[in-house]
Amino acid sequence: MQIADALDRAHRAGVTHRDVKPQNIMLTRDGVKVLDFGLAKSIAKIGPNDATLVANLTTEGTILGTPQYMAPAQFDGKEADARADIWAFGAVLYEMVTGQKAFQGKNYSSLIASILTTEPPPMSVEPFTPVWLERLVRRCLAKDPEERYQSMRDMVLDLRTPPQDAVAATVAKASRWPWVAAVALLLISTIISSALWMRKTIEPAMAVKLEVPPRPAASSL
């Protein structure tokens, strides 16, 4: 939420970061800091010289950013807006939850192909990852910018107040998990005990043969 809130503040100030990635996110005693706005573009208070610089940086065909966190449109050299930051945030959030990058490739070409044509693997780590969180990340990573969140503010609100039905279902599912494990363990123990008892009862009785020699006759004097 702190990362999303920082980007929301930047967007509302007219600044698009354009290089959101883990290396530009720092945890401090005061909370999260989003750093390195070196590729950022401001649409507010652009002076004559700045306007020329921005125009040069956003010329069609120019690729800016870190490939694994770039939205598909950026590879076409299209101008990045707030929705590109939303895509990058989705990729970062996916990596935070799963420990894996959302898109991977053996080389630059295969990485771009993965971003443009494939979907990341499911991020659910049952029963701990809420379904609503995966839906949020999937919406961030939609190929079509029109299908993503249109503002970081909307995402901040969804993170703060997730769907109550989804939260209740997740809590109920997590609370049932120890009971399911206990029942399964009890069932397994019962099956093993029953099998041992049945084996014991069906084992054939061992025949015991005793030979008693006859008592010798008393000798006559």
Report, as residue numbers or ranges, the catalytic residues.
Answer: 19
Strands (DSSP E) found in 38-174: 41-42
User: Residue 55: enclosing H or E segment and its boundaries?
Assistant: helix 48-57
Q: Is there a cis peptide before residue 127, judged by omega within 30 degrees of 0?
A: yes
User: Residue 26: enclosing H or E segment and its boundaries?
Assistant: strand 25-28
Q: Which residues contact 27 (CB under 8 A, 6 or more apart)?
A: 33
User: Residue 31: enclosing H or E segment and its boundaries?
Assistant: strand 31-34
Q: How far apart are CA 103 and CA 118, in angstroms?
A: 8
Residue closest to 41 by CA, chosen among 6, 76, 85: 85
Q: What backbone phi and psi angles, to 5 degrees, belong to 33?
A: -125, 130
Residue closest to 72 by CA, chosen among 56, 59, 84, 86: 84
Q: How far apart are CA 31 and CA 28, in angstroms?
A: 5
